[in-house]
């Protein structure tokens, strides 16, 4: 009997990915109809009969079983139904992103497929880390016959939980306030708490004026600056300064030269990418992630949403290296270890999300000076620095000189070996060496000045600071953290000036209100408990229904505490629209 070749309907998560897959199938002469969705086809929501004003917000916690899938992308829905109905002999291949959110979108696609073809109809799941043809071939030949249901349940848990808690808390806060929308979210609120907490620290800080003596000494024709301890009285500092001027010298009491080492960067995980690039490009994390996803969908980098910072044993280091060799960064390879005979020796991290490897370059991006280029450049430089270079090392110098019982201190620092910084120059400290000194040596003083200073409060948080705090406290995931700093500004809880976040009056009052009722409403610990439950679902240690029941029980208790203090809400949140944020 003749062998009948299977034919496929391959559905990707984005049109741009579908276009790359189509090229791959055409090249390999695979019979496949390629289509795509545009993210989620369905949303979870309460039925309209439970809308605002139609039911008490508290009752939403008990209506989880009433939540239903609602169609939000009708165009994709109609298109898939048409394809599944027309090409009846073709088998579905789900080619959405290889993470829990992509798995949930895959489940939505499967719902439509089974509605047309019947429950239990055969399908495949294709998982890939980049759109490189070699990677796609590996993914195609290793198709699985089922979704990862733990990932589906993890994503469903998050969606159910965020819907119920967000709807309940937002409704009561809005209704009890002045009518404007006061949104609450279990990730958004602790993120705002970090901003408010820092502002409180700044407000509580008492600036103190002080004086100090700045001197310049000279050795081997080079001037070195040293500063004294702080004085509370200017006259005392001026008296000692006049004595030093008259003496004309000072005695070296300590000189230490210590070697330091700075480690080369770890493989690129999403959190590292966003924290670094918000500093380098001065744009917000959401925009960076959006551009990174564009680069992925056009085949320039691997999948950009990953918590992994270690390469698997089977990773092909040569292919990203070849990409850099063919790019406008190829001149950097002379600074690698062992050039031109390069052997991979990556510095490995400890994180592995079991879904994707670290981010790496897949094909060269043209150096057009765009943000796309600069993000691709960062990823390529970091890859080479991690895999093919050494750590940097240098020396720190600490110098102390004494006059009477007054100690003057100066510092020097320089690199003896730049190592990875030749490839990855971001955040390299400037060299500032000072001459070598001997203890007991008397050194000529060439300048003496009394200066005024002020103690400074802790700085307001940057976006990189916020992202790091969220990661450290288990708020959100690598794929979701980027959105929350932007949400704070969009919802007027904070503003962003000079790259730093300033809470508005609304934001300050919002946190104070919830904190006074129960600190668990604002601190990150409660949300971390929820994130830990999602991890347990993913690992098969807890079922979705059990986890959802336990998580909602905690927040239902907190909601009841808020309800008991409903009268306080208006007194905290009745803020005139014209009041300026500060």
Other CB atoms within a 10 A radius of the CB of residue 480 amount to: 15
Query: Residue 177: its pLDDT value, please?
Result: 64
CA pair distance 146, 329, nearest whole angstrom: 41
59 is a domain residue: no
Residues 384 and 396 in one domain: no
Domain boundary among 410, 437, 454: 454
Task: Output the six-digit token pair for 192.
Answer: 């705002």
Residues 297 and 365 in one domain: yes
**Residues 263-272: what's their mean pLDDT?**
97
CA angle 535, 187, 52 (to 5 degrees): 115
Whether the per-residue pLDDT at 3 is higher than 50: the answer is: no
Residues 280 and 192 in one domain: no
Tell me the per-residue pLDDT of 142-159, one tens digit each, with 9 for 90 and over.
999 999 999 999 999 999
Residues 498 and 560 in one domain: yes
Task: Output the six-digit token pair for 28.
Answer: 């390999």
Whether the per-residue pLDDT at 577 is higher than 70: the answer is: no
569 is a domain residue: yes
CATH code at position 31? 3.40.50.140
Query: Residue 178: its pLDDT value, please?
Result: 65
CA pair distance 138, 133, nearest whole angstrom: 9
Query: Residue 574: its pLDDT value, please?
Result: 65
Whether the per-residue pLDDT at 481 is higher than 80: the answer is: yes
Query: Residue 439: its pLDDT value, please?
Result: 96
List, in order, residues 6 or more apart from 552 with CB less than 8 Å away. 61, 64, 161, 164, 165
**Residues 562-569: what's their mean pLDDT?**
84
Residues 398 and 486 in one domain: no
State pTM to two decimals: 0.90
Residues 366 and 225 in one domain: no
Residues 291 and 384 in one domain: yes
48 is a domain residue: no
Whether the per-residue pLDDT at 283 is higher than 60: the answer is: yes
Task: Output the six-digit token pair for 456.
Answer: 């400074």
Whether the per-residue pLDDT at 8 is higher than 70: the answer is: yes
Tell me the per-residue pLDDT of 31-73, one tens digit each, with 9 for 90 and over.
999 999 999 999 999 999 998 888 999 999 999 999 999 999 9
Query: Residue 46: its pLDDT value, please?
Result: 96
User: In what helix (H) or strand (E) does residue 454 lie, and over which residues does it extend?
Assistant: strand 442-454
Query: Residue 116: its pLDDT value, please?
Result: 96
Would you call the peptide bond into 340 cis, given omega within 30 degrees of 0 as the criterion?
Answer: yes
Residues 167 and 274 in one domain: no
HEC string of 461-508 equals: CEHHHHHHHHHHCCCCCCCCCCHHHHHHHHCCCEEEECCEEEECHHHH
**Residues 308-314: what's their mean pLDDT?**
95
CA pair distance 327, 322, nearest whole angstrom: 9
Domain boundary among 356, 388, 420: 388
Task: Output the six-digit token pair for 541.
Answer: 């240690």
Whether the per-residue pLDDT at 582 is higher than 70: the answer is: no
335 is a domain residue: yes
CATH code at position 200? 1.10.460.10
List, in order, residues 6 or more apart from 468 with CB less than 8 Å away. 271, 275
| CB of 61 closer than 8 Å to CB of 164 | yes
- Of all residues in the chain, the percent with pLDDT exceeding 70 is 97
Task: Give the CA count within 13 Å in the CB-facing half-sphere of 393.
Answer: 7
Confidence of residue 179 (pLDDT cuts 50, 70, 90): low
User: DSSP letters of 103-130?
Assistant: HHHHHHHHHHHHHHH-TT--EEE---SS
Whether the per-residue pLDDT at 1 is higher than 90: the answer is: no
Residue 265 to residues 16, 100, 276: CA-CA distances in angstroms? 31, 27, 11
CA pair distance 59, 53, nearest whole angstrom: 12
- Of all residues in the chain, the percent with pLDDT exceeding 90 is 89
CATH code at position 416? 2.70.20.10
Tell me the per-residue pLDDT of 98-118, one tens digit each, with 9 for 90 and over.
999 999 999 999 999 999 999
Query: Residue 479: its pLDDT value, please?
Result: 79
Name which of 67, 93, 68 is nearest 80 in CA terms.
93
Domain boundary among 371, 388, 405: 388
Query: Residue 338: its pLDDT value, please?
Result: 86
Residues 484 and 533 in one domain: yes
Residues 406 and 528 in one domain: no
Query: Residue 277: its pLDDT value, please?
Result: 97
479 is a domain residue: yes
Residues 518 and 556 in one domain: yes
364 is a domain residue: yes
Query: Residue 558: its pLDDT value, please?
Result: 94
Q: How far apart are the first and last CA of the chain?
A: 79
List, in order, residues 6 or more apart from 86 with CB less than 8 Å away. none
CA pair distance 212, 424, nearest whole angstrom: 38
Query: Residue 566: its pLDDT value, please?
Result: 81
Query: Residue 576: its pLDDT value, please?
Result: 41
Residue 205 to residues 195, 280, 458, 507, 515: CA-CA distances in angstroms? 16, 30, 8, 20, 21
CA pair distance 160, 155, nearest whole angstrom: 9
Whether the per-residue pLDDT at 581 is higher than 60: the answer is: no
Task: Give the CA count within 13 Å in the CB-facing half-sphere of 113.
Answer: 23
Can you give the residue range of the structural domain that contains 275? Answer: 270-388
Whether the per-residue pLDDT at 216 is higher than 70: the answer is: yes
221 is a domain residue: yes
Residue 336 to residues 268, 311, 324, 343: CA-CA distances in angstroms? 18, 19, 12, 10
| CB of 23 closer than 8 Å to CB of 49 | no
Residues 506 and 569 in one domain: yes
Coil, strand or helix at 8:
strand
Dihedral sign of CA atoms 311, 313, 319, 322 in order: positive
Name the average pLDDT for the chain. Answer: 93
| CB of 258 closer than 8 Å to CB of 396 | yes
User: How many structural domains are present in the chain?
Assistant: 4
């Amino acid at each position: 009997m003749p062998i009948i070749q299977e034919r496929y309907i391959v559905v990707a998560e984005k049109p741009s990915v579908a276009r790359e897959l189509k090229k791959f199938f055409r090249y390999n002469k695979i019979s496949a109809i390629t289509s795509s969705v545009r993210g989620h086809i369905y949303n979870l929501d309460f039925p309209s009969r439970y809308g605002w004003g139609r039911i008490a917000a508290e009752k939403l916690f008990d209506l989880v079983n009433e939540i239903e899938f609602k169609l939000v992308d009708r165009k994709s829905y109609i298109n898939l139904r048409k394809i599944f109905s027309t090409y009846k002999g073709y088998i579905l291949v789900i080619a959405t992103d290889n993470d829990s959110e992509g798995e949930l979108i895959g489940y939505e696609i499967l719902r439509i497929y089974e509605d047309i073809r019947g429950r239990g109809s055969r399908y495949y799941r294709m998982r890939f880390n980049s759109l490189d043809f070699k990677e796609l071939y590996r993914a195609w030949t290793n198709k699985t016959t089922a979704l990862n249901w733990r990932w589906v349940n993890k994503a469903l848990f998050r969606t159910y939980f965020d819907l119920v808690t967000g709807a309940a808390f937002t409704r009561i806060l809005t209704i009890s306030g002045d009518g404007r929308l006061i949104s609450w979210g279990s990730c958004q609120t602790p993120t705002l708490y970090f901003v408010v907490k820092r502002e409180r620290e700044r407000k509580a800080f008492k600036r103190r004026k002080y004086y100090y003596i700045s001197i310049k000494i000279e050795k081997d024709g080079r001037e070195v600056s040293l500063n004294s301890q702080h004085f509370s009285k200017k006259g005392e500092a001026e008296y000692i300064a006049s004595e030093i001027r008259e003496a004309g010298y000072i005695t070296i009491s300590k000189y230490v030269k210590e070697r330091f080492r700075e480690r080369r960067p770890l493989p690129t995980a999403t959190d590292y990418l966003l924290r670094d690039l918000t500093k380098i490009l001065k744009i917000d994390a959401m925009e960076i992630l959006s551009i990174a996803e564009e680069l992925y969908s056009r085949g320039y980098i691997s999948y950009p949403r990953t918590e992994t910072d270690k390469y698997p044993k089977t990773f092909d280091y040569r292919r990203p290296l070849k990409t850099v060799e063919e790019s406008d960064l190829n001149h950097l390879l002379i600074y690698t270890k062992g050039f031109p005979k390069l052997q991979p020796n990556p510095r490995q991290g400890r994180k592995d999300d079991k879904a994707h490897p670290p981010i790496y370059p897949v094909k060269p991006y043209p150096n057009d000076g765009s943000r796309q280029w600069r993000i691709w450049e960062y990823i390529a430089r970091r890859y080479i620095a991690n895999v093919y270079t050494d750590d940097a090392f240098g020396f720190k110098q600490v110098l102390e000189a004494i006059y009477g019982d007054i100690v003057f201190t100066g510092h020097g620092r320089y690199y003896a070996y730049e190592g990875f910084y030749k490839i990855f120059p971001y955040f390299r400290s400037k060299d500032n060496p000072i001459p070598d000194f001997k203890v007991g040596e008397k050194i000529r003083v060439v300048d003496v000045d009394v200066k005024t200073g002020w103690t400074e409060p802790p700085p307001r948080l940057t976006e990189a600071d916020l992202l790091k705090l969220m990661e450290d406290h288990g708020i959100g995931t690598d794929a979701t953290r980027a959105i929350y700093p932007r949400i704070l500004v969009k919802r007027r809880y904070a503003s962003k000036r000079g790259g730093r976040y300033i809470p508005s009056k609304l934001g300050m009052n919002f946190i104070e209100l919830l904190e006074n009722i129960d600190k668990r409403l604002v601190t990150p610990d409660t949300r971390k408990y929820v994130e830990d439950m999602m991890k347990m679902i993913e690992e098969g240690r807890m079922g979705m229904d059990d986890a959802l029941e336990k998580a909602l029980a905690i927040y239902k208790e907190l909601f009841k505490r808020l309800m008991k203090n409903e009268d306080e809400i208006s007194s905290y949140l009745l803020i005139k629209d014209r009041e300026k944020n500060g």
